[in-house]
């Protein structure tokens, strides 16, 4: 695969801080080369206060666009000329497309979650879903599941100082997607968790519970909550096999790990940048196994 940067090569970039650990440059550059697309992708360490200047540079350099990571996602949303429905609801962007100086912001995390389920033969449309958490990943998943036609969403949140986030997510979704019925329950009540799982097709953990170094923990504390046929997905990808997924699988559930969401949010961004499908199987084999 020969690849030469020319006078016509277009630039894309990840902005955020830190960015040095990101796998995005390898994933996108591999895909550009594989499909013969004349673009290169780099990472720039940009603090929150410098986001407007970075986006001016994106226009000035006629970059094709890029991605945004923490802590820049909300500052970047405020600088967009247009927002996708999900980005508008959440007030954050992780993907930017530059069309002749007009910047459109998208958030593909939730789409990545839905696309990953679809790649496993699981449809979100008309389903009933429980999502534990109300942080960045949980909000993106809740919003996208509603936009993708979920019939009912139960948000599980521990009752502490940030419980209001779950109530706000529910209100935001009810307003934007009235066809989706949303309820909020206490994550620490075993009865509430059991009732939510019993009426759900899909149960999602989008909290930090189960993530290293607390990988001995699970949001489902009693295995009797699981039932054969329940789909259990984890946003956590470190470790890949969380306690939640191990116990779910042992109880006859279908278990979906967090790596696919990461891969497919990149594939969704790639489609927005290029109008083409990312070579997902090759990228998965090369960078996600
Ligand atoms: P975040 O914005 O900080 O939100 C964390 C959420 O977890 C909050 O709702 C928090 O609630 C809850 N939480 C934390 N500790 C808890 C505990 N002990 N019991 C109950 N709830 C608890 O983080 P995030 O960005 O959403 O990330 C969450 C997880 O998803 C991380 O493991 C991250 O790596 C993963 N993630 C995966 C992807 C992917 O593509 N697979 C993408 C993004 C994130 P409180 O406010 O009550 O603490």
CA neighbours closer than 13 Å in the CB half-sphere of residue 164:
2
pLDDT the model gives residue 32: 98
- Smallest CA-to-CA distance from 129 within 156, 164, 94 is with 156
pLDDT the model gives residue 2: 61
Question: Does the annotation mark 199 as catalytic?
Answer: no
Q: How far apart are CA 46 and CA 200, in angstroms?
A: 41
Cα-to-centroid distance, 205 and ligand 1 (Å):
9
Q: Judge whether 210 and 242 are in contact, CB under 8 Å.
A: yes
Cβ–ligand 1 distance for 142 under 6 Å, the answer no
The answer to pTM > 0.85 is yes
- Going along the chain from its start, the domains and CATH numbers come out as 10-107+261-287 (3.40.50.10860), 110-257 (3.40.50.720)
Cβ–ligand 1 distance for 44 under 6 Å, the answer no
pLDDT tens by residue, 93-121: 999 999 999 999 999 999 999 999 999 99
Q: What is the 3-state secondary structure (H, E, C) of 232-243?
A: EEECCCCCCCCH
pLDDT tens by residue, 225-281: 999 999 999 999 999 999 999 999 999 999 999 999 999 999 999 999 999 999 999
Q: What is the number of the ligand 1 atom nearest to the C-alpha of 113? A: 40
pLDDT tens by residue, 185-240: 999 999 999 999 999 999 999 999 999 999 999 999 999 999 999 999 999 999 99
Round to the nearest angstrom and report the end-to-end CA distance of the chain: 22
Cα-to-centroid distance, 139 and ligand 1 (Å):
10
Taking CA atoms only, the protein residue closest to ligand 1 atom 3 is 135
pLDDT tens by residue, 42-90: 999 999 999 999 999 999 999 999 999 999 999 999 999 999 999 999 9
Cα-to-centroid distance, 244 and ligand 1 (Å):
14
pLDDT the model gives residue 3: 75
Which residues make Cβ contacts (< 8 Å) with residue 97, sequence separation at least 6?
A: 64, 65, 103, 104, 106, 272, 273
pLDDT tens by residue, 150-178: 999 999 999 999 999 999 999 999 999 99
At residue 289 the predicted structure's pLDDT band, cuts being 50, 70 and 90, is: confident
260 CB-contact burial (10 Å; exposed 0-12 / middle 13-18 / buried 19+): buried
Q: What is the number of the ligand 1 atom nearest to the C-alpha of 210? A: 32
User: Over 60: is that where the pLDDT of 1 sits?
Assistant: no
Q: Which of 73, 125, 165, 175 is catalytic?
A: 73
pLDDT the model gives residue 177: 97
Cα-to-centroid distance, 56 and ligand 1 (Å):
32
């Amino acid at each position: 695969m020969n690849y030469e940067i020319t006078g016509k090569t277009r630039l894309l970039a990840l902005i955020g801080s830190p960015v040095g650990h990101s796998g995005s440059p390898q994933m996108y550059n591999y895909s550009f080369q594989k499909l013969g697309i004349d673009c290169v992708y780099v990472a720039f360490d940009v603090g929150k206060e410098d986001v407007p200047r970075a986006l001016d540079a994106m226009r000035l350099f006629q970059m094709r666009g890029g991605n945004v990571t923490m802590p820049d996602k909300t500052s970047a949303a405020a600088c967009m000329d247009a927002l996708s429905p999900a980005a508008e609801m959440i007030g954050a962007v992780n993907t930017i497309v530059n069309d002749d100086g007009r910047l459109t912001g998208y958030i593909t995390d939730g789409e990545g979650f839905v696309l990953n389920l679809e790649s496993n033969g699981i449809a979100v449309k008309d389903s009933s879903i429980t999502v534990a958490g109300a942080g960045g990943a949980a909000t993106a998943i809740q919003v996208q599941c509603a936009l993708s036609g979920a019939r009912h969403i139960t948000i599980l949140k521990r009752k502490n100082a940030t419980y209001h986030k779950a109530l706000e997510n529910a209100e935001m979704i009810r307003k934007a997607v009235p066809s989706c019925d949303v309820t909020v329950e206490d994550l620490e009540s075993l009865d509430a968790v059991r009732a939510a799982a019993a009426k759900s097709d899909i149960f999602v953990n989008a909290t930090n519970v189960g993530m290293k170094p607390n990988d001995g923990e699970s949001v489902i504390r009693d295995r009797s909550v699981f039932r054969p046929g329940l789909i259990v997905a984890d946003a956590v990808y470190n470790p890949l096999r969380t306690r939640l997924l191990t116990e779910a699988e042992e109880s006859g559930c279908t278990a979906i790990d967090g790596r696919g969401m990461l891969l497919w949010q990149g594939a969704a961004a790639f489609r927005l940048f290029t109008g083409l499908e990312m070579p997902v199987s090759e990228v998965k084999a090369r960078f996600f196994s």
